[in-house]
Amino acid sequence: MGEVWQGVTDAVRLLLAGDREVVEVTLRSLWVSGLALALALALGVPLGGLLAALEFPGRRLAVAAVNTGMAAPPVVVGLLVVLALTRNGPLGGLRLLFTGQAMVVAQTLIALPVVTGLVLAALQQVDPGLRQQLAALGAGRLQTLLLLLREVRVALLAAVMAAFGAVISEVGAVMMVGGNIRGQTQVLTTAIVQETRSGRYAAAIALAVVLMALAFAANLALTVLQQRGRRRTG
């Protein structure tokens, strides 16, 4: 018990002093997950829009794949990325394994189905009559999609927060593709694993507090936005 208490007080000291390593790991986490989120949005929003707007053979299959992807364990995604990037893998020539880029790729793949699925779900909630009304006003496909995305903006922000929460707290994939190299590919989650394993509880707790704060902030923002959305439609 004394060890834990010591850890907590040391952690507070580390945080208050703005420990260089804690700051560095935090920034790397934000950078990797932030970039992954941006890429997932850039791909997932149009993808969700297409799935919501178009009727094509195999659409149900694509939707099922997205839904499965939303529940895919990060470790499995990590394994797939490692297999692709390993020296003899199909993308081995890029020499990306155990780099920040590899972590971004893995987290993008984790966040993409989440964004796509939530955008699709949000757009499917829109009354088909509104879609028809916009078409009657002369909107083309892209104009319709943009207007509808604006219409479901609250759900869209929820998708952003959910995807961010999924990647910032994810440990399996970044560990596998990044290698958890201190000073290079170590992020909040993997650093906590390593510090805990080495018995450096103070550092682990300090990092955990930062991670919790980030996850909490994301969830708080999500809750506030959803409440605002409910009030508006109510």
Partner 1 sequence: MTGEPPVLVAEGLRVVRDGRTVVAADRLELRRGEVHVLLGRNGAGKSTLLRALDGLEPAAGRLVFEGREVRSAADRRALRRRTAAVFQRPYLLDASVVDNVATGLRLRGVARREARRRAAAALDRLGVAHLAGRRATRLSGGEAQRVSLARALAVEPAVLFLDEPLASLDPPARRGLLEDLRDVLGDAGAAVLWVTHDRDEALAVADTVSFLDGGAVSQTGPALEVFTHPRTTALAEFLGLDAYLEGVVEEAPDGQTLLRLPGGPVLLCGEAPPGPAVACLPPEDVVLLAAPPPAHGASLRNVVWGKVKAVGAVGRLLRVVVAVDGLEVSALVTPAAYEDLGLAVGRRVAAAFKASAVHPIPRPGGRRP
List residues near partner 1 by CB under 8 A: 127, 129-130, 132-140, 143, 147, 150-151, 232-233
From the CA atom positions of the chain, what is the Rg in Å? Answer: 21
Q: For partner 1, give the closer residue by CB, 88 or 233.
A: 233
Minimum distance from residue 138 beta carbon to partner 1 (Å)? 4
Q: Which is nearer to partner 1, 61 or 136 (CB)?
A: 136
Q: Are 32 and 100 in contact (CB under 8 A)?
A: yes
Give CA angle at 111 (153, 223), nearest 5°. Answer: 45
**Number of other residues whose CB lies within 10 A of the CB of residue 193:** 16
The minimum distance between CB 229 and partner 1, in angstroms, equals 10
Nearer to partner 1, 213 or 224 (CB): 224
CB of 203 closer than 8 Å to CB of 20: no
Quote the least distance from Cβ 45 to partner 1, whole Å.
Answer: 18
CB of 214 to partner 1, least distance (A): 30
Nearest approach in angstroms of CB 227 to partner 1 is 16
Q: Which amino acid is residue 229, in one-letter code? A: G
Task: Give the nearer residue to partner 1 in terms of CB position, either 65 or 147.
Answer: 147
- 98 Cβ contact list (under 8 Å, min separation 6): 177, 178, 179, 181, 185
Helix axes 100-124, 59-70, angle to 10 degrees: 120
For partner 1, which is the closer residue by CB, 182 or 228? 228
* Beta-carbon contacts of residue 130 (< 8 Å; ≥ 6 apart): 148, 151
